[in-house]
Amino acid sequence: MEQLESFIEIKKASKKFVTRSGDHVTALTDVNLSIDKGKFITLVGPSGCGKSTLLRMVGGLIQRSSGSVSIGGAEIEAPTAGIGMVFQSPVLLPWRTVRQNVTVAADIGGANRREVDERATKFLDMVGLNGFEDKYPSELSGGMQQRVGITRALVHDPEVLLMDEPFAALDAMTKDKLQVELQSLWMTSRKTVIFVTHSIQEAVFLADRVIVLAPRPGRVVDDITIELPRPRTLEMINSREFGDYTSAVRKHFEAEGLVQ
Amino acid sequence: MSEVISASVHRKVKSPSRFRFPAPDIVTLASVVVLVTFLSAWEWVLIPLLNISPALLPKPSAIAIALWSGLFVGDLGTDILITLQEVFLGYVLGSAIGFALAIPVAGSRVAERILYPYIVALQAIPKVAIAPLFVIWFGFGMTSKVVIVALITFFPVFVNAVIGLRATPAEQDELFDVYNASAWRRFRYLRLPNSAPYIFGGLNVGVTLSVIGAIVAEFVGAQEGIGSAIIRAGFALDTAGVFAAIAVLTFIAATASAAIQAIGRKLVFWMENPKG
| pTM, full prediction | 0.83
pLDDT tens figures, A190-238: 899 999 999 999 999 999 999 999 888 889 999 999 999 999 999 999 9
Whether B111 is covered by a domain: the verdict is yes
Phi, psi of A24 (to 5 degrees): -90, 125
How far apart (Å, rounded) are the C-alpha atoms in residues A222 and A207? 14
Yes or no: say if A99 and A140 are a contact pair by the CB < 8 Å rule: no
- Is there a domain that residue B12 lies in? no
> How far out from the chain centre does Cα A191 lie?
11
DSSP code, position B190? I
Q: Which domain holds residue B261?
A: 61-267
Dihedral angle over CA of B43, B44, B48, B53, nearest 10: 10
Q: What is the pLDDT of residue B158?
A: 95
Does the residue B4 lie in any domain? no
Residue B274 has pLDDT above 90, yes or no: no
Tell me what pLDDT residue B4 has: 42
The angle that helices B239-267 and B226-235 make with each other, rounded to 10 degrees, is 160
Is residue B78 domain-resident? Answer: yes
Q: Give the best residue of B2, B12, B176, B178 to mutate against chain A (max A CB count within 10 A).
A: B178
Q: A69 forms bridges with which residues in the sheet?
A: A10
Structural domain contains residue B181: yes
Please tell me which of the candidates A79, A89, A135 has its beta carbon nearest to residue B180: A79
Contact A93 B193 (CB under 8 A): yes
What are the two backbone dihedrals, phi and then psi, of residue A9, each rounded to the nearest 5 degrees?
-120, 120
The predicted-structure confidence for B214-237, as pLDDT tens digits, reads as follows 999 999 888 899 999 999 999 999
Q: Is B185 left (phi over 0), alpha (psi -120 to 50) or beta?
A: alpha
CATH code of B202's domain: 1.10.3720.10
pLDDT digits (tens, 9 = 90+) for B137-147: 998 889 999 99
The backbone torsions φ and ψ at residue B220, rounded to the nearest 5 degrees and listed phi first, read -70, -35
Q: Which residues of B12-51 are buried (b: 16+ CB within 10 A; e: fewer)?
A: eeeeeeeeeeeeeeeeeeeeeeeeeeeeeebeeeebeeee
Q: Which residue of B has its CA nearest to A161?
A: B178
Least trusted range by pLDDT, from A186-195, B20-29, B204-213: B20-29
The count of domains in chain B is 1
Relative to beta strand A40-44, strand A219-225 is unpaired
| Domain assignment present for B211 | yes
Of A84, A136, A143, the CB nearest to B3: A143
Is residue B38, in this structure, part of any structural domain at all? Answer: no
Q: The complex's ipTM?
A: 0.89
Q: Is residue B273 part of a domain?
A: no
Whether omega before B274 lies within 30 degrees of 0, making that bond cis, reads: no
Give the confidence band of B210 by pLDDT, cuts at 50, 70, 90.
Answer: very high
Q: Amino acid identity of A191?
A: K
All residues of chain B having their beta carbon less than 8 Å from the beta carbon of residue A62 are none
SS3 B52: coil
Q: Give the integer Cα–Cα distance in Å for B43 and B114.
A: 58
Contact B4 A107 (CB under 8 A): no
> At B273, which helix (H) or strand (E)?
none
